[in-house]
Amino acid sequence: GQNIDQPTEMTATEGAIVQINCTYQTSGFNGLFWYQQHAGEAPTFLSYNVLDGLEEKGRFSSFLSRSKGYSYLLLKELQMKDSASYLCAALTKAAGNKLTFGGGTRVLVKP
Amino acid sequence: GAGVSQSPSNKVTEKGKDVELRCDPISGHTALYWYRQRLGQGLEFLIYFQGNSAPDKSGLPSDRFSAERTGESVSTLTIQRTQQEDSAVYLCASSLLNRQGATLNEQFFGPGTRLTVL
């Protein structure tokens, strides 16, 4: 089966940096997605990594290590509006090329 | 262009009644997913339609749940004899598929249907 783990909650201060880790155990790995979901809203796409390394998009960066089954999402210069859940999802051939989501990490940004 | 739409946005029903939820994916998206999300929880995969292949129904929690999709367009999720534990937000997402049939880049989510079973 597919196993995706991420912390349940994290708290950080406005202006700081937070790193959300995600580990996965899958077969036929085809890529790793991060989504942001504000309370009461649908998830929105943040990033997609299929090769090892760091992808940077403004204040958000995502890292992937395929050999370690590990990814992280880095949020820099935190703003209050970044308070949301962050969902890690793996795309795997073994799962019929569909996305399998982790339980999400709730990030609370405090002033 | 138009995104993924879902209807109704809210549905309140009585225990034991049947409900039908609708999803209109983005035009041209051959992959369509249904998820369930209980309050404060992650996304729970229900069913996946991948182009012309047989749907992956491995996530459906019981035989009270079923879904259909007409070609590459509208999908309906039906819950029969609803129970209180079915109360959740039901999210639909669509995406393109690459030549290998894998989800290409991102899934686009609809706004969800909030189902409340009294």
Give per-residue pLDDT as tens, A5-35.
999 999 999 999 999 999 998 777 888 999 9
d(CA A48, CA B91): 20
Q: What residue of B is the nearest CA neighbor of A86?
A: B42
Q: Note whether A41 contacts B111, CB cutoff 8 Å.
A: yes
Give the list of residues 6+ apart from residue A83 with CB closer than 8 angstroms, or none: A38, A107, A108, A109
d(CA A103, CA A8): 7
Residues of B in contact with A28 (CB under 8 A): none
Model confidence over B4-53: pLDDT tens digits? 999 999 999 999 999 999 999 998 888 899 999 998 888 899 999 987 78
Place of tokens 């998830």: A43
Q: What residue of B is the nearest CA neighbor of A38?
A: B40
Q: Note whether B48 contacts A93, CB cutoff 8 Å.
A: no
Residues of A in contact with B48 (CB under 8 A): 96, 98
Q: What residue of A is the nearest CA neighbor of B48?
A: A98
Cβ proximity of A80 and A14 under 8 Å:
yes
Residues of B in contact with A31 (CB under 8 A): 102
Q: Note whether A45 contacts B91, CB cutoff 8 Å.
A: no
Cβ proximity of B48 and B55 under 8 Å:
yes
Mean pLDDT rounded to a whole number for chain B: 89
In this structure, what DSSP letter does residue B56 have?
Answer: B
Give the list of residues 6+ apart from residue B29 with CB closer than 8 angstroms, or none: B72, B94, B95, B96, B108
